Amino acid sequence: MKVDELIKQIEETINTASTMPLTNKVIVDGNVIIELLNDIEAALPDEIKQARWIQSEKQRILAEAKKEYELVVGNAKRRAEELVAKDAILSSARSRSEELLKVTEENIKKMKMGTYDYVDKVLYDFQENMAKMNAMYQDMFTNLEEKFENIEKVLIKNREEIKDMAYKTQMDKDEN
């Protein structure tokens, strides 16, 4: 069932609930509301699943980039050592090795920056969607509001980490 349908069920439950005399308050079955909230949580948009996947994949992608970097650097060093043995092309070998190393480092930084940008965009989009949902249903349930705030804190923290990683990567690039 979709999240909006579940929210409509909550609204219907509240709208059809008995009212307390002389007040605007209604009496609802807490178990029904909790069950609907659990259904909402289970049916959250794919963006949440995607954000979780991205978070788990972040380290794997960075580890693969590091392995590729080490492999290319190792290959470049071996190639440079072979060329050093030949006096006539010593200068050319050093230049080429440094060029390969520089290109490799640039490519790795570009991959990292692309990953950071992608993760930040997904997190930002999800954060925006969560903020819209939070604003729309803020007065409805305190429990739901607390869940949104916790998710918002995690998203902000994740975005700060991504920005920090991007900044560090950018600083490494500028130093070279």
Q: Per-domain residue ranges for the chain?
A: 1-43, 45-175
Taking Cα atoms as reference points, which of 48, 36, 49 lies closest to residue 4? 36
Among 21-35, 98-112, 116-130, 136-150, the minimum mean pLDDT is found in 136-150
Paired tokens of 112: 């990292």
Taking Cα atoms as reference points, which of 171, 141, 152 lies closest to residue 9? 141
What is the pTM for the complete model shown?
A: 0.35
Residues 41-95: pLDDT tens digits?
Answer: 877 766 677 777 777 788 787 888 889 889 988 988 887 677 666 655 667 767 8
3-state per-residue secondary structure call for the chain: CCHHHHHHHHHHHHHCCEECCCCCCEECCHHHHHHHHHHHHHCCCHHHHHHHHHHHHHHHHHHHHHHHHHHHHHHHHHHHHHHHCCHHHHHHHHHHHHHHHHHHHHHHHHHHHHHHHHHHHHHHHHHHHHHHHHHHHCCCCHHHHHHHHHHHHHHHHHHHHHHHHHHHHHHHHHHC
Residues 3-14: pLDDT tens digits?
Answer: 788 889 989 988
Average pLDDT, stretch 140-166?
Answer: 86
Average pLDDT, stretch 13-28?
Answer: 87
Query: Are residues 145 and 138 in contact, defined by beta-carbon separation less than 8 angstroms?
Result: yes
